[in-house]
Amino acid sequence: MSKIGINEKSLPYDLPWSEKLALAKEEGYSFVELSIDETEERLARLDWSKEERLAIVRAVYNVGIPIDTMMLSTLRKTPLGSEDDQIYEQAYLICRKAILLACDLGVRNIQIAGYDEYYGKKTVLTRENFIENLQRVVDFAAENQVMIAVETMDDSFMNSISKIRTIKETIKSPWLQTYPDLGNISAWPENNPSLDLESGLESIVSIHLKDTLSVTANTPGKFKDVGFGSGQVNFLGLLKTLKRIGYQGTYTVEMWNERRPDAVNQMRYARAFFEQLFKKANIVLEDEYVRRS
């Protein structure tokens, strides 16, 4: 049995948390993924008061749908591998705050953006700094029993599960795993996404469902805002791979519709789109299991 969740940026922006959670549940999703992005508003969530955190927990219990994962995409702006000592330390402190917030909200997995450097220049030092800083983050996460899951990215530094597994050979911890994005691993021509999933099964704790356009010799690809079914990801083939190799983790629909008037319709379309694909791949979804019980 599998669960499909949805990222917060798929939900209408101006809804209070109780209504966001209720909407996700109503549209057939099993959990919501919290966003801590580059904006000051969402970064400020890391400093929520005890009362603000308790209000979110109450909403989760009252509505009956959890916030299982957190997307810490603010690390694009403040990368773990920065050569700037101040930014390097700030990235670590952001991760510490995120881990403590996860403890308070009941978040199981924190998805770390796999960037050594995004806006700046990549060097040998930025890679070493990324590994060194990630080790510090994982150590703190282990102390607090929170999973750190590195996402495969729209960036060549960490664009496959195999590259994350290489990092795991250095950082040996059960609290460091992978969060592959089916769109991202499919978009890079050097990847065989099915083999990448096979070889990395033991490290996969959750999966992003996103469509993309592939990187080619003449185009940079498109990693965002590609409608499901209009991109080049072979979702059915990859879902069949995951079924065959015995993957049991969660799936998260990823869209960027929060400021669009048709956000709810897009949520509904995505849920229906993947429901029929999961059926073809013989993967039973949580609500189907409940109906059969």
CA distance 154 to 18: 32
Identify which of 222, 281, 273 has the alpha carbon closest to the alpha carbon of residue 246. Answer: 281
Using DSSP bridges, classify how beta strands 206-209 and 176-179 pair: parallel, antiparallel or unpaired: unpaired
Contact of 139 with 176, CB cutoff 8 Å? no
pLDDT at position 292, please?
A: 36
Structure tokens at 65: 């749908």
Per-chain mean pLDDT for the chain: 96
Residue with tokens 């013989």: 282
The stretch 130-154 carries a mean pLDDT of 98
Mean pLDDT of 62-90: 97
User: What single string gives the DSSP state of each residue in 113-133?
Assistant: E--S-SSS---HHHHHHHHHH
> How far out from the chain centre does Cα 182 lie?
11
Domains along the chain with CATH numbers: 4-292 (3.20.20.150)
pLDDT level of residue 287 (50, 70, 90 thresholds): low
| 286: confidence class by pLDDT, cuts 50, 70, 90 | confident
176-179: strand order across its sheet? 176-179, 147-151, 109-113, 67-72, 32-35, 4-7, 250-253, 206-209
- Residue from 140, 3, 152 nearest 68 by CA: 3
**Nearest-angstrom CA–CA distance, 227 and 217:** 23
pLDDT band for position 1 (50/70/90)? Answer: confident
CA separation for the pair 241, 257 (Å, rounded): 29
CB 185 within 8 A of CB 221: no
pLDDT at 252: 98
223-236: average pLDDT: 97
